[in-house]
Amino acid sequence: MTGDETIRAFVAVWPSPEIASLVGSAVLEFRKGLPGYRWVEPRNLHITIEFLGNVRRTGVAPIAGVLDEIASKVVPFELALGRPGTFGPREKAKVLWVDVSDPERNLSHLARNIVEGLKPLGFFPDKDFVAHLTLARKKTGVGGFVSSAGWQNLWDEKLKDLVGLAAWAGKTGEGATWIVSSLTLVKSILTPAGSQYEIIHESGFAPVVR
């Protein structure tokens, strides 16, 4: 790849493998009932902080430098799975997702710092940050929309509540939680089967001082 070539990239944090597997197992319960959607594989579940679009190869290192600087000032923090939601008209949901509980607003603060840090490099977000894990996207040209309310009812019916979800994960407490300890720069490759992701840089958070 030459310096003039570009990649499609975004900044993200990832759930733990255990949480990703848990969510993947949970949605299997109703994937067959929603054939009009393309479901995200558990290994690809992530929280997008900022979509960068096409990035020149020569621009990767400066972005990574900004992310490293930001990450060095952040200590690992906890997130938990939240409530179901949709993007698109209420009765014709184009995207099915689950939000993320962030009571201390650590993820929100991180997202704000990333947005501000990348502005000098010419990156400006086209939408406000909404912390969520995308679970499924509507297939192009396929019928069978699910309503926003219908998706929420399905999620509630199968998962009941976060206490049950946590029990499935073998955890204790009131929610299925995980610790975020790094942020990543990700290359997105579009294929007929859906997007494939490759982490091209990872910025670890500051060590916890005990």
Do the beta carbons of residue 101 and residue 133 sit within 8 Å? Answer: no
> CB under 8 Å to 195, separation ≥6 — which residues?
44, 188, 189
Residues paired with residue 104 on neighbouring β-strands, in sequence order = none
94 residue type, one letter: K
At 157, list the tokens.
């019916």
Q: Report d(CA 97, CA 84) in Å as an integer.
A: 6
Question: Within its chain, how far is the Cα of 38 from the centroid?
Answer: 16
Give the span between the Cα atoms of 49 and 51, in whole angstroms: 7
Q: Which of 192, 98, 193, 89 is nearest to 145 (CA)?
A: 89
> Contact at 8 Å (CB) between 146 and 36?
yes
Q: Which of 42, 46, 49, 111 is catalytic?
A: 46
Among residues 14, 74, 132, 151, the one annotated as catalytic is 132
132 as an active site residue: the answer is: yes
Residue numbers annotated as active site: 46, 132
